[in-house]
Chain A
Amino acid sequence: MLCIEARGLRKAFGTTIALDGLDLHVEEGHIVGLIGPNGAGKTTALNAILGLTPYQGELKVLGRDPWTDRDQLMRDVCFIADVAVLPRWMRVSQALEYVSGVHPRFDRAKADGFLAKTTIKRASRVRELSKGMVTQLHLALVMAIDAKLLVLDEPTLGLDILFRKQFYDSLLNDYYDRTRTIVVTTHQVEEVQNILTDVMFVNHGRIVLDCSMEEFELRYAELMVHPQHVAAAQALKPIHERQVFGRSILLFDGVDRHRLAALGEVRTPSIADLFVAVMGNQAGAAQGAVA
């Protein structure tokens, strides 16, 4: 079943086009990484999905129209926005009480359990907590909600590596159960690569790449080419080429790995490398078109 279905999503802020006919399909039970440069339209797309911004085009989230049905939708959808948004005056105990007061699917005992693993005190106000602790608190609140879709927009921004690692670990171990859907945007691509089931690249308000991680591993190959085979490798039309320690690293799309193995060492590229390749090519193409 489709969890998010967007067709021809458009949104402009004045003359700036944030979403330019975005098509997006997210299936239930998937963990989707939405990757894109700054200003690509990721946050606008998420805001449309969460009913925070009006849009043109067709959009259904869990079968509902997010813009007209936000409060109903939020029974089944949770989100953590890019920076700490928990009200700074609130006490931890008040946050727990309030969410259990207004949310029919919030499990107070579960949230208490998550918080027990941290050093957060119930009487503390949010403003007294460190950035990492605020994120822990927000995650504890969100994970205690039996939601169908969880949207994370740069959830680990500004956190140190220990908190970031812990964040995704608890998400995978304590929350994800293969029926829930998670959509995450982040610039720390390498940290989410292992948890994603699908990856999408967004640029200029469109999806420029959409594939499952299995497909990703089959399709893309990175070749550290032996110096004597550079010309042969380049003949296979790599989509990107870079130099590391004087050796060429070529990225191929849909080229048989056995053929590549004869020319050097083959491995699966990181999402970050593919991202640089795809975005770099787009920028190059755009510049070429202008010139």
Chain B
Amino acid sequence: MNTPSNAVPESPLEPQKITPAAMSPTRPLYWSIRRELWENRSIYVAPLIVAGVTLLGFLIATIGRGMATVDPARKAAVLTEPNSFAAAVIMATTFVVGVFYCLDALHGERRDRSILFWKSLPVSDLTTVLSKASIPLVVLPLVAFATIVATLLIMLLLSTVVLLMSGLSAATPIPWMQMPLVLLYVLITLALWHAPIYGWLLLVSGWARRATFLWAVLPLIAVQIVEKIAFNTSYFGSMLKYRLVGGMAEAFAHKPHGHVPIVDLSQLTPGNFLSTSGLWIGLAVAAAFLAAAMRLRRYQGPI
């Protein structure tokens, strides 16, 4: 239930006319996801803004440092270095958006009492929770993918123009055949790896009456404190750290510097990633959290 394979059609050109009563079971899911996008425009606005800011910075670098540098090798470096940085920043943004989205997803509807409206419609709690979980697991990775590819393309155009004007060949520093594949791989592995984090945040947002962020974070800190004082160990802390950043080490042969998406295809180790027990344990935990969130939503009313 956590794989992106159950993505609903993203096409906005869904046929409007259907015969009443004969409604496909995915239709409520599709509309529930659209409704999430209506409500939370930050899902696509925030990555776009960050991409815009990155491009602005790149533009200044291109015109300023890029033009001023005489040495061709250094000039190329100025123009290619920001690539992976831009990708990392956009990915980090979608992660932060996903975290805050999840913290509010099942809390906001109870706070503004609109849960009574949603529950007055023939949409099951399963569909609702799945639609909300699919935002960080499917929609945000897709948004990140599209934004990063577009940003890198614009950067390529800008740097090509600068290089041509400097009389240098516009040798593409990015392996354009590989980049989208590697990027997609990174986004999918990250989403799967982080699934229990999103599951936990959704569960907390369905349970807490207020201060969802504190309820999501403080118990984790409390466990670490108790463990440290009682046993003088920090297994729980290492486990959390592994969950947060360990996925990349499992998905790539050589740990890249940060989240560098532009690597050689040979560095991808999907076999290793898929055989990591951490992945499957994480997915099982995510499924348990989502099931609990679903059950909670049945009982919960406005707060």
CB pair B27 A86 closer than 8 Å: no
CB contact list, B1-57 vs A, under 8 A:
16, 20-23, 27-28, 30-32, 34-35, 38-39
CB pair B122 A94 closer than 8 Å: no
Contacts of A195 in B (CB 8 A): none
* A74 in contact with B117 given A52-B301, A94-B38, A101-B34 (CB within 8 Å): no
What separation, in Å, do the CA atoms of A90 and B127 have in the docked complex? 20
Task: Say if the beta carbon of A63 comes within 8 Å of chain B.
Answer: no
What separation, in Å, do the CA atoms of A72 and B123 have in the docked complex? 8
A30 shortest CB reach to chain B, Å: 21
What separation, in Å, do the CA atoms of A75 and B23 have in the docked complex? 11
CB pair A53 B301 closer than 8 Å: yes
A58 shortest CB reach to chain B, Å: 20
Number of interface residues of B (CB under 8 A): 33
CB contact list, A51-87 vs B, under 8 A:
51-54, 70-75, 78-81, 83, 85-87
* A101 in contact with B31 given A52-B301, A85-B113 (CB within 8 Å): yes
What separation, in Å, do the CA atoms of A91 and B121 have in the docked complex? 17
Partner of B122, one of A50, A72, A98: A72
Task: Say if the beta carbon of B114 comes within 8 Å of chain A.
Answer: yes
B121 shortest CB reach to chain A, Å: 5
* A105 in contact with B119 given A85-B114, A94-B38, A98-B31 (CB within 8 Å): no
* A103 in contact with B121 given A47-B301, A87-B39, A89-B39 (CB within 8 Å): yes
CB pair B121 A102 closer than 8 Å: yes
Partner of B120, one of A53, A74, A104: A74
What separation, in Å, do the CA atoms of A102 and B20 have in the docked complex? 11
Partner of B113, one of A79, A83, A103: A83
Task: Say if the beta carbon of A200 comes within 8 Å of chain B.
Answer: no
CB contact list, B167-210 vs A, under 8 A:
none
Contacts of B20 in A (CB 8 A): 104-105
CB pair A99 B121 closer than 8 Å: yes
* A90 in contact with B38 given A74-B122, A98-B31 (CB within 8 Å): yes
CB pair A104 B122 closer than 8 Å: yes
B104 shortest CB reach to chain A, Å: 12
11 contacts between A and B (CB under 8 A): A52-B301, A71-B122, A81-B113, A83-B113, A87-B39, A90-B38, A100-B16, A101-B30, A102-B28, A102-B32, A104-B20
